[in-house]
Amino acid sequence: MISAIPAVQRVVIVGCGYVGKRLGLALRSRCDVLGIVSRAASLAGLEAIGLPGQGVDLDAGAPLSPDWARDAVVFYLVPPATDSESDVRLAHLLNGMRRRPRLFVYMSTTGVYGDAEGSEVTEQTPVNPLTARARRRVTAEGMVRVWCTEREVRRVVLRVPGIYGPGRLPLGRLATREPAVRVEEAGIGNRIHVDDLVSACIATLDMPDARGIYNVTDGSPMNSTEFLLRVAREAGLPEPPQISMDEAQLVLSPSRLSFLNESRQVSNRRMLHELKVQLRYADVDEGIRQSLAEEGQGSSGSGGR
């Protein structure tokens, strides 16, 4: 149950998509929520679930009203555009903020750590981005740090791994029999159920001393193939064919390979101890079952539908 904190009266979610909508629904009983989206279809999606929304094209630098961020908590969930080394969307937003928010939460990625060869990384581990996507995130984190420091705004950066949940399970890959790297060759990785990610976001409001960087994971690192096998079992789908890492370099997409070529175990100790997040789905199997149930797919622990 979410405790009421009257001081937080307004939350603005910039990039109110998959995560943002669930966050908005979780918060609307305790404060005013505004979702910022870029497309008309996304705006209609917010209206359909009863969340106030506003359409803003951050690529074009379209301005928001001058006072939109005053005393608000801002969650920035927009990924950087792929056509620049910098984050032009974030720059447009920060440059257009004339009023200080009380808290700015930036959602980043654990990809900024790069390849740790299976070792543990913490918030103190130096970043080592190996992809253009991760380099853009490092740049964006720096932009937020400078902007918030200069204006004395409390800043929280959530470094997030792969997000799964209802509508975000690899059922399509299983149905099309897309191959997976052999379990014994696949690198270790991390993930978080969307509802636990929402809990971490809300914790930044409830813990006024929270600031800086937090890794947000379920604390159950496993490789992507093992996760696929678990989804297949719970959904009653055939297991994917397994191939070697060498074969994967020839048949899988560059974006898929960018994840497979990195291996790390991301610590969530700071999140648990300082944000006091109580994970609902530290058990990945339970998270998969909940996701399937919400999707209406049904599940059974023995592999049936």
Looking at residue 162, its pLDDT comes to 95
Looking at residue 3, its pLDDT comes to 42
Looking at residue 297, its pLDDT comes to 62
The class (CATH top level) of 10-169+191-219+264-287 is alpha beta
Q: Structural domain boundaries of the chain?
A: 10-169+191-219+264-287
Residue 49 · residue 112 · CB < 8 Å: no
Provide mean pLDDT across the span 76-100.
90
Per-residue pLDDT reduced to its tens digit, 243-301? 999 998 888 888 788 888 899 999 999 999 999 999 999 999 999 999 999 998 644 33
pLDDT higher than 90, residue 22: yes
Q: How confident is the model at residue 7 (pLDDT cuts 50, 70, 90)?
A: low
pLDDT averaged over the chain?
91
